[in-house]
């Protein structure tokens, strides 16, 4: 009985904490003005959703308040390497806002925390009582597991987007090489090739080139910074190679063509590996179906033999 009281008291405390996070606060005037100035200063670099809408809603508010409560350890991107840096790159390439993602994690973890107590409450009218050990041991485990579920979904989506970006990058490099062969300079060929498509990958490249032009740095360095931000190492390798080549048109064209061919070969290898994995999964499923069919056919005869 004591264990049930502890579990349900923890459930009530979690619900109260969630309500406290979502409850509107009334900050002072100086705090409000400081937040407005910080938002105005960070507006050009803030992640945007693909449809261009601002991140609003209770989920983003929950993530913002939870990030403020938990501190720097919960902020994606606190370091360029490690899990936080990987998450920042995943968020950048998927165009998810960090506060919205953190709010999704909090809500998912709360759902995992409430799962077993809710199941215990639903079993009570039927006269079934969930063991206290299951409640005490399973609730923290489910909370931790549900906390990392958004991470897994984000990682899968980011890997899919990176594969799409690499395919678009190979096409983009071929277009730049053809523009260079036609007599255009690199400063003109790079943005023109990015403007030929309205896909999200080409928009990222165009934004990176515009940012490099406004910052007064070379376009290759801008592409390298984009590759570091979204976790695509091929852009960094390309930027390093072109920085060594210099401004020689023929060498730049040959380097771009070679990089595009390398990206296509890598994409083909990845596609073949995925096809082999799918084929192996299909074979395993066929073996399991055949084994289940044999069990179904042999069960009557086996039952009759065992009954003798």
Contacts 24+ apart (CB under 8 A), 164-167: 164/201, 165/93, 165/201, 165/204, 165/230, 165/232, 166/232, 166/234, 166/263, 166/266, 166/267, 167/263, 167/267
3-state secondary structure of 16: helix
CB-CB neighbours of 300 under 10 Å: 9
Between 34 and 152, residue with greater pLDDT: 152
Examine the domain organization and report whether 117 and 254 are in the same domain: no
Residues 6+ positions from 165 with CB-CB distance below 8 Å: 93, 201, 204, 230, 232
Which pLDDT score is estimated for 39? 55
pLDDT band at 42 (very low <50, low <70, confident <90, very high): very low
Total domains in the fold of the chain: 2
Between 73 and 147, residue with greater pLDDT: 147
Q: Would you state the structure tokens that stand for residue 44, as one six-digit string?
A: 């050009």
Interval 131-138 mean pLDDT: 80
Choosing from 116, 134, 162, the residue where a domain stops is 162
Which pLDDT score is estimated for 87? 83
Interval 4-27 mean pLDDT: 60
Interval 45-74 mean pLDDT: 51
Residue 127 is classified by DSSP as: T
pLDDT band at 72 (very low <50, low <70, confident <90, very high): very low
State the burial class of residue 305 (Cβ atoms within 10 Å of its Cβ: 0-12, 13-18, 19+).
exposed
Examine the domain organization and report whether 172 and 153 are in the same domain: no
Examine the domain organization and report whether 93 and 215 are in the same domain: no
Choosing from 146, 162, 178, the residue where a domain stops is 162
Q: Which of 69-73, 133-137, 282-286 has the highest mean pLDDT?
A: 282-286
Given a cut of 50, whether residue 54 has pLDDT beyond it is no
pLDDT band at 215 (very low <50, low <70, confident <90, very high): confident
Give 67's Cβ-side CA count (13 Å radius): 20
Distance in angstroms (rounded) separating the CA atoms of residues 87 and 85? 5
Which pLDDT score is estimated for 165? 92
Interval 52-61 mean pLDDT: 52
CB distance 63 to 100 below 8 Å: yes
Examine the domain organization and report whether 250 and 193 are in the same domain: yes
Query: 206 is in which domain, residue-wise?
Result: 163-266
Between 202 and 130, residue with greater pLDDT: 202
Between 275 and 51, residue with greater pLDDT: 275
Interval 228-232 mean pLDDT: 89
Examine the domain organization and report whether 149 and 206 are in the same domain: no
Phi, psi values for residue 293, rounded to 5°: -65, -40
3-state secondary structure of 26: coil
Percentage of residues of the chain with pLDDT beyond 90: 4
Look at residue 147 and tell me if it is in a domain.
Answer: yes
Give the helix, strand, coil percentages of the chain, each rounded to 5.
80, 0, 20
Which pLDDT score is estimated for 22? 53
Examine the domain organization and report whether 79 and 155 are in the same domain: yes
Look at residue 306 and tell me if it is in a domain.
Answer: no
Which pLDDT score is estimated for 38? 57
Choosing from 133, 162, 191, the residue where a domain stops is 162
What rounded mean pLDDT belongs to the chain?
A: 76
Look at residue 274 and tell me if it is in a domain.
Answer: no
As a residue count, the chain comes to: 308
Look at residue 184 and tell me if it is in a domain.
Answer: yes
Nearest of 159, 169, 224 to residue 202 by alpha carbon: 169
Look at residue 106 and tell me if it is in a domain.
Answer: yes
Which pLDDT score is estimated for 76? 45
Which pLDDT score is estimated for 161? 92
Which pLDDT score is estimated for 53? 42
Given a cut of 80, whether residue 281 has pLDDT beyond it is yes
Look at residue 92 and tell me if it is in a domain.
Answer: yes
Examine the domain organization and report whether 132 and 167 are in the same domain: no
Look at residue 30 and tell me if it is in a domain.
Answer: no
């Amino acid at each position: 009985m004591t264990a049930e009281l502890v579990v349900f008291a923890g459930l009530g405390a979690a619900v109260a904490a969630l309500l406290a996070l979502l409850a509107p606060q009334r900050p002072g005037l100086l705090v409000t003005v400081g937040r407005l100035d910080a938002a105005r200063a960070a507006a050009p670099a803030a992640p945007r959703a693909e449809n261009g809408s601002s991140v609003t809603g209770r989920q983003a508010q929950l993530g913002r308040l939870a990030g403020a409560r938990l501190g720097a350890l919960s902020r994606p991107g606190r370091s360029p390497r490690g899990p936080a840096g990987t998450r920042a790159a995943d968020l950048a390439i998927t165009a998810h806002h960090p506060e919205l993602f953190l709010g999704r994690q909090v809500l998912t973890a709360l759902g995992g925390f409430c799962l077993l107590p809710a199941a215990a409450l639903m079993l009570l009218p039927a006269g079934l009582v969930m063991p206290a050990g299951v409640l005490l041991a399973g609730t923290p485990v489910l909370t931790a597991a549900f906390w990392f579920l958004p991470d897994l979904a984000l990682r899968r989506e980011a890997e899919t987007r990176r594969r799409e970006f690499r395919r678009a990058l190979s096409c983009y490099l071929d277009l730049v090489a053809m523009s260079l062969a036609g007599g255009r300079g690199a400063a003109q060929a790079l943005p023109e090739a990015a403007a030929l498509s309205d896909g999200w990958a080409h928009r990222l490249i165009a934004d990176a080139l515009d940012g490099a032009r406004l910052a007064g740095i070379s376009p290759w360095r801008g592409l390298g910074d984009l590759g570091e931000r979204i976790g695509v190492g091929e852009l960094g390798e390309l930027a390093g190679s072109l920085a060594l080549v210099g401004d020689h048109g023929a060498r730049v064209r040959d380097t771009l063509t070679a990089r595009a061919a390398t990206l296509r070969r890598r994409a083909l290898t990845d596609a073949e590996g995925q096809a082999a994995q799918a084929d192996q999964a299909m074979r395993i499923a066929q073996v399991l179906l055949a084994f289940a069919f044999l069990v179904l056919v042999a069960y009557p005869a086996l039952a009759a033999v065992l009954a003798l």
